[in-house]
Amino acid sequence: MKEECGVAGIILPDDRPQSNAVAFKLYYALYALQHRGQESTGIMVHDGTSPKSIKGMGLVPDVYNKESLGRLIGNAGIGHVRYSTTGGSKIENCQPFVLNFKGGTVAIAHNGNLVNARKLKDELENEGRIFISDSDTEVIGHLLVKELIKHDPIESIKTVMRKLIGSYSLVLFINGAVYAVRDPFGFKPLCFGEVDGGYGIFSESVAIDTLNGTLIRDVRPGEVIVFPGSSFESYQLTAESHPAHCVFEFIYFARPDSIIDGKLVYKVRERIGRELAREYHVDADIISPVPDSGITSAIGYARESGIMYLEGLMKNRYIGRTFILPGQDLRETAVRLKMNAIQDNVKGRRVVLVDDSIVRGTTSRRIIDMVRKAGASEVHARVGSPAIIAPCYLGIDMATRQELIASDKTTKEVEGLINADSLGFLSIEGLMRALECDRNDMCVGCLTGEYPVEIPGEKCRKKQTRLDDFSKTKSSSQAVSSDSL
């Protein structure tokens, strides 16, 4: 089951009187992270003796209300927003998972996807363990609890990390403390900051901004940080020689105002537009974004090319869940309800449409047709990512290989299918220039079909040396007190 998620954790100093402040802050943080998952959400808060939680299907403002949040007393808590592909849409998969075991309470909020989940689950099932959900996160929970009954939390997390292959940015609550954990490749983002005298750990830094806090830094690949209350300690358990940050967080998934792994997403997207302009020049009259995802790249493209930036399409800000009249013009109405061409801006003009990516290609086709119908003389498509040719196994819900329009077609063929006068996908090199990053330090599996980790039936980009690395760095684990930062 593919899923996209946002995670959050907050702990306030324990000398502070217990209140519902953590619950309300988690609510605001999840609201700021809503774009990472709109299907279900949950918050757990712990007051030192027992956990209290709220979970539900739907958007953040639909699941919580003032009254229910007001009852969540406790100085530490974690939260989650989630989206999943059909099939996984049930209350049992809603996070955080709150697990009671011999040693107390563990709560887990997870963003990512394990590639060895099936194998780990098989092993656990062979021990007779049972699973309530379809989620990888429950696998992590089982592994963690197995260790926690024998070892301390840091040791336990370390042991579990050695078993997990794939992407995982975790916020954990274990018996009074909150933990941040990021996989050795650092696939999915995770950062932390100072919030109201305590600490907050979030998928993206916008949550810290919303809470009027101060970003401290990203959690590093392979790092575990424990937040017992008014301080924090870091354990660099292991890391790959090359990280593998997900390029799609930068291309379209994260909010543009977030800083991920030291890079402002907005800036990356603006440079993507500039690179596109350099790679695929075309004589045109206007540069228009496909709103909202193409806006920043279109600005960059216009600036680099010197061609006028002008919005040829307008988005309806109120489109959420809606239903569509059955019938032949079904999908077209859906697109027009969401987006409208501004005739005067495109009529008789050569238009460059800049979008973040093309997955199935069907929406691109409808948008280009709409711009043509509004009178554009030419429509050139420029795409802020290389062609997606392979599925993602590491936490982005894309599509199957069969559904990906570019998986078995040339750019020319795709150009024809979407009815564009010309089509340009950003090159991987261009993308890396925009990211100011080495290709070996990003995960580009969906663009190349070569993944940083071994996936059955797929190519692996390099010899796996993770376990060896791990042994070597193990001894260098060290606590860094927050004072030394």
Residues found in the chain = 485
446 is in an annotated binding site: yes
Active-site annotation, residues: 5
Binding residues among 126-155 for its own copies as defined by CB under 8 A: 126, 128-132, 141-142, 145-146, 149
CA-CA distance, 389 to 379, in Å (whole number)? 24
Is residue 328 packed enough to be buried (19+ CB in 10 Å), middle (13-18) or exposed (0-12)?
Answer: exposed
Return the bridge partners of 315, or none: 339
**Minimum separation from the CB atom of position 66 to its own copies (A):** 5
293 known ligand binder: yes
Selection from 122, 130, 141, 120 nearest residue 78 by Cα: 141
Site for its own copies in 421-460 (CB under 8 A): none
Closest CA to 95 of 37, 48, 47: 37
Query: Of 56-85, which residues contact its own copies (CB under 8 A)?
Result: 56, 59-61, 65-66
Nearer to its own copies, 46 or 466 (CB): 46
Q: Is 379 in the site for its own copies (CB under 8 A)?
A: no
Among 1, 177, 342, 417, binds its own copies (CB under 8 A): 342
Q: How far is the CB of 460 from its own copies (least distance, A)?
A: 29
Q: Does 294 bind its own copies (CB under 8 A)?
A: no
Q: Give the bridge partners for 52, in sequence order.
A: 45
SS3 373: helix
Comparing CA positions, the residue from 291, 308, 211 lying closest to residue 8 is 211
Instruction: Note whether 12 and 229 are within 8 A (CB).
Output: yes
The answer to whether residue 116 forms part of the interface with its own copies (CB under 8 A) is no
Residue numbers 10-49 binding its own copies by CB under 8 A:
21, 24, 28, 31-32, 34-35, 38
321 DSSP 8-state letter? S
Among 15, 306, 317, 484, binds its own copies (CB under 8 A): 317
Is 341 an interacting residue with respect to its own copies (CB under 8 A)?
Answer: yes
Nearer residue to its own copies within complex by CB, 144 or 447: 144
Q: Token pair of 216, please?
A: 């401290």
Would the annotation count 94 as a binding residue? no
Q: Is residue 163 a contact residue for its own copies (CB under 8 A)?
A: no
CA 34 to chain centre: 11
Shortest Å distance, C-beta 136 to its own copies? 13
**Stretches 216-224, 313-321, 377-385, 421-429: which one binds its own copies (CB under 8 A)?**
313-321
Burial of 408-428, coded b for 16+ CB within 10 Å and e otherwise, reads ebeeeebbebbbbbbbbbbbb
The window from 243-251, 338-346, 357-365, 376-384 that contacts its own copies (CB under 8 A) reads 338-346
Whole-number Cα distances in Å, 117 to 120, 136, 139, 294, 378: 5, 6, 7, 35, 48
Say what the alpha-carbon torsion angle 120, 122, 123, 126 is, to the nearest 10 degrees.
160
Residue 99 touching its own copies (CB under 8 A):
yes
Distance in Å, CB of 9 to its own copies, minimum: 18
Give me the least distance between CB of 218 and its own copies, in Å please.
15
Does residue 113 touch its own copies according to CB under 8 A?
no
Q: Is 365 in the site for its own copies (CB under 8 A)?
A: no
User: Which of 175, 231, 241, 322 is in the footprint of its own copies by CB under 8 A?
Assistant: 322
